[in-house]
């Protein structure tokens, strides 16, 4: 697995390959070594092929660690395989997941509906925005 870190307004972490038993310790140690000064950590799963229970443990530990510091974890661009793992395990309800795969929308001839969503927090109020493309 390859891990690409980019410090911007938030810490962007792109995962490439598989997050499983043999690679989860690498992600865990890499993030523990990193001096995370940003309030938001974004994990980009656009090139993550698979996630195992070992990878889920790392995500849960990271979420708890960040929350203890008053920081936030977001997961972006999950594919269907990862989405299914999150659904089956209930992680879809635990993690802040944002997705919108417009490439899939424009390349698909069969299913042309896609839902993009995000939660925006402004002045202690949450607004749920949904966009539907049909």
Buried b (16+ CB within 10 A) or exposed e, 110-121: eeeebeeebeee
- Report the C-alpha gap between 10 and 22 in whole angstroms: 27
Q: Where in the chain is the domain with CATH 3.30.750.24?
A: 2-99
Model pLDDT for residues 3-51, shown as the tens digit of each residue? 999 999 999 999 999 999 999 999 999 999 998 999 999 999 999 999 9
Q: Tokens 């698979």 identify what position?
A: 50
Model pLDDT for residues 88-99, shown as the tens digit of each residue? 999 999 999 986
CATH number for 2-99: choose from 2.30.30.760, 2.60.40.10, 3.30.720.120, 3.30.750.24. 3.30.750.24
**pLDDT for the residue numbered 105:** 46
Q: What mean pLDDT, rounded, does the chain reach?
A: 81
Buried b (16+ CB within 10 A) or exposed e, 56-85: bebbeebbeebeeeebbbbbbbbbeebeeb
Q: Which residues contact 14 (CB under 8 A, 6 or more apart)?
A: 3, 4, 6, 44, 46, 47
Q: Dihedrals φ, ψ of 71, to 5°?
A: -110, 175
């Amino acid at each position: 697995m390859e891990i690409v870190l980019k410090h911007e307004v938030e810490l962007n972490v792109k995962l490439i390959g598989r997050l499983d038993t043999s690679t989860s310790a690498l992600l865990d140690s890499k993030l523990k070594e990193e001096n995370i000064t940003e309030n938001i950590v974004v994990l980009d799963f656009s090139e993550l092929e698979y996630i195992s229970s070992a990878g889920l443990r790392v995500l849960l530990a990271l979420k708890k660690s960040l929350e203890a510091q008053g920081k936030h974890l977001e997961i972006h661009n999950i594919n269907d395989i990862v989405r299914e793992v999150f659904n089956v395990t209930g992680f879809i309800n635990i993690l802040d997941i944002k997705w919108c795969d417009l490439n899939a929308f424009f390349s698909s001839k069969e299913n042309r509906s896609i839902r993009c969503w995000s939660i925006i927090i402004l002045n202690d109020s949450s607004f749920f925005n949904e966009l539907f493309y049909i």
